[in-house]
Amino acid sequence: MAATASSAYNPFRSETDPIVPAPGNPASLHATEASNLQPTVSAPANATTSASGSTMIQCLNVFSAAGLTSNEVAAELRSDLEHGLPTAEAARRIQFNGYNEFDLAEKESLFGKYVEQFKNPLILLLLASAAVSVLMKQFDDALSITIAVVIVVSVGFVQEYRSEKTLEQLNKLVPPTAHCIRDGRSVQFLARELVPGDLVTLTVGDRVPADVRLIETIDLQINESSFTGETEPRHKHAMPLQAPSASGIEHLDNIAFMGTLICSGRGQGIVVGTGANSKFGEVFTMMNSVEAPKTPLQNSMDVLGTQLSIYSFAVIGVIFVIGLIQGRAVLDMFTIGVSLAVAAIPEGLPVVVAVTLAIGVMRMGHRQVVVKKLSAVETLGCVTVICSDKTGTLTKNEMTATVVLAADGSRADVSGVGYDATDGICTTEMGEKVSGHSHPGVTRVIEIGCVCNNAQIINNTVLGQPTEGALMVLAMKTQLDISRSYFKRVKEMPFSSETKWMAVQVEPTNRPGAHEVMVKGALDKVIDMCHGYYAHGGHIMPISDAQKEQILNHGRGLGTAGLRVIAVASGKDMQSLGYAGLVGILDPPRPGCQESVEIIQSAGVAVKMITGDSVETACSIAQRLGIYQPNDSVLSGPQIEAMSDMDLERVISNVVVFYRANPHHKLKIVKALQGIGEVVAMTGDGVNDAAALKTSDIGIAMGISGTDVCKEAADMVLVDDNFLTIRNAIEEGKGIYHNITNFVRFQLSTSVAALSLIALSTLFHFENPLNAMQILWINIIMDGPPAQSLGVEPVDADIIRQKPRDVKQPMITKSLIGSILSSAAIIIVGTMFVFYKEMSADNKITPRDTTMTFTCFVLFDMWNALSCRSSRKLIWEIGLVRNKMFCIAVSASLLCQLAVIYFAPLQRIFQTEALSLFDLVFLTALTSTVFIFNESKKYIELRSIRSLPFFDGSKQNNL
């Protein structure tokens, strides 16, 4: 039975690497003999001896395994190439190596995650303020502060809980089951139970369950894009490699890696690495060790919390000292000082920041961006370097044939982009349409590309390799896709990374028994195989070395233009091939991408392209997008590996294109850029990109082509994989920070004014111009809808051209402090003027006096909020009604203020009385001074900036 089961798989066997029992491990070994291995056989190099004296088999390094023959691998792992491992031996190895899974760190409890949100200086300051308010029996302040803290902490907790699942997603890519041969029988069980030495079988649609050294392959192709970034599947074989390099995994074509997908063919192999000892496990370990940096906004808010703490203690200290000088009781002065300091802290600030970021998340959602962390929304506004993948991000990842050069000298150009065959036609240099066999030289090239092809186009989507899809669309545009029905495929020689060509042997349906070979592949490989070329009339003529060199020059010219060159040939057999021509294939740039790159660069953000393409193709595409200029520096993946971190940091600022680069180079690029002080955004889509995405200041994952691990490690996901979307996100990020600073300016100026009024009255024994209910109402306006509406101000269209803000610069700058103090001074002087003007009539405080003063302060607040809508533009430039939420909030606040003045029940509560129309007009005119002053100051500043030579709008940075 065992022999039958084994022989069922024997047809897959490679004739060059026959299966024989491993030395010292007879094929007849059974489970009962597993613990009594031949004592005369020395233990393999990767084996250790346990305390009980039995031999324990460890995982085998993939680079070592790649250089060994199948028999040598089996000997190292004490396995059997026919019968696999005995069940008892596999159970014993699990005890030593552990299960084929990742050991996730113990999950933090939900309560722990919630408590984590409180570790923020501003939140801790607010909590301290609430505690002091309770001690001072100011329960209304304590309640408002507590509500603000709960809102902020809850919003942050929900976002964190939904986003931080990176390590859990890693386990999801480990396939749940595996097909294995144990005890000579084919069995299926959970992949977590695989051990080193297990013999596994792989078929189409399977995910590879562990790192496997292949011992048998038949047309096996594996999609390794999650590791290597290459979109085309890798062709795998079972032959040992000669001195495999340990610097990358792309060349390990006899290894199947955990988590990769079998696209076609079938195979068999020995497990050499499981769990954390697999290449996938290395990504897991790296992810576990890398800590995501704090976002610039988080750092700014931390600094702001510290600054407010210092200012609060300074207020307490100053008032306390003045009170002692005046001879007041120590306890009284301490109580007054603490109360004023608590009142000065803007408890609405964290709420507005959270709400503004949440609205930014929703806005970005409408612009094809999914943001996973609230604090990351604003980070793109600080980015100084964007490192972007080429394929699918800067380009459409829709390979398109654009030119056909036939061996007889004829040429045809192809219009249209993508896989829609109805979009575009093929025309000759004379403008004649190519259709059917109208132009023999050109159509022969197209026909070979169609027949020597495994792709299909269904509903404008390619099933198969993108390059082959481009050739099929070309055939459909010329009505030559029917050519496949003219030939019966007899044999196929698949493409491999070594040969770089594919061939099919076909039999024409109208000539039974006749055979023809068609070949397509890399130009240099195909031309070397050709003994002739197709001349006019379809005759094969001898080809000279000079003609071959001329053809190669044509190919280099197309490569320099950014095209991938595919050559085709045909003949009776492989020894009589005639060169037919070549096809230039373009991965076209995405629409609007060039403009986006130009706009981003004009704002002081460097764009660097990372691709696996050749230097010619990479530079051509980059030049077309405006990323590369002829004198710019480029760097290859192998050069990056050969450099030390310091060497890379010295040159990386001048490098704009990284070619022949792989995902594992990205982490080194990120660290080098951060090492020279850059704020880095990195795009990625593969498993190997995860560490670089997490390390970068903002990781951007691809929504269409990205793996789950990549998406979970990133801070944001591009739904459409489009670079244009990054531009939109930068625009939103800059607008969000701009809105937050506008709110800070409004709230702190109003807060300082209110605080100063109370402090001056208290310290100098003046009558208090406002009562407790009126102060509470002012706090509601200060932290309520008018303030919140500043956070939703629409983004200015030209804000994208604003330079990235300096992340080392605190949120409260000297310029901002000046604006806050000037606005507060106007509000204080105006309010005190009204108060003493009204009180001077009878030298006592009446309801009218407090009503006028109260209304004056509220109107000052409204005018101040209007001037705080933008620091970059005058109010008539942004439009009075553009922010509908602001208009509604201010209108509602004014109506409520009128109700407080004229509605009898509210008059009793707030101790107010009705005012005349003249009073309201007088107060409106007086309070507008804060708006007039701020707009005039803004006008002077903007005029001086806009008068600078070569002003392009980008100088208005953080005004």
The catalytic site residues sit at: 389
**Tokens encoding 270:** 């020995």
Q: Using CA atoms of 235, 236, 240, 241 in order, give the dihedral in degrees to the nearest 10.
A: 40
Let me know: does 397 contact 587? Beta carbons within 8 Å: yes
Q: Are strands 211-223 and 234-235 parallel, antiparallel or unpaired?
A: antiparallel
Contacts for 713 with CB less than 8 Å, ≥ 6 apart? 166, 287, 689, 690, 691, 693, 694, 699, 701
Let me know: does 611 contact 661? Beta carbons within 8 Å: yes
Q: Are strands 698-702 and 680-684 parallel, antiparallel or unpaired?
A: parallel
Other Cβ atoms within 10 Å of 255 Cβ, number: 27
Nearest to 237 by CA among 248, 223, 221, 224: 221
User: What would the DSSP string read from start to end of 355-399?
Assistant: HHHHHHHHHHHHTTEEES-GGGTTGGGG--EEEEEIIIIIB-S--
Let me know: does 667 contact 387? Beta carbons within 8 Å: no
Backbone angles phi, psi at 915, to 5 degrees: -110, 155
DSSP-derived 3-state class of residue 877: helix
Q: Are strands 655-659 and 633-636 parallel, antiparallel or unpaired?
A: parallel
Query: Which amino acid, residue 581?
Result: G
Chain CA centroid to CA 710, Å: 8
CA distance 760 to 765: 8
Q: How far apart, in Å, are the Cα atoms of 194 and each of 9, 55, 231, 617?
A: 20, 18, 29, 43
H helix or E strand, kind and range, residue 71: helix 70-76
Query: Which amino acid, residue 810?
Result: P
Other Cβ atoms within 10 Å of 495 Cβ, number: 23
Backbone angles phi, psi at 216, to 5 degrees: -145, 135
DSSP-derived 3-state class of residue 603: coil
CA distance 713 to 433: 50
**Tokens encoding 879:** 């439009």
DSSP-derived 3-state class of residue 196: coil
CA distance 38 to 368: 63
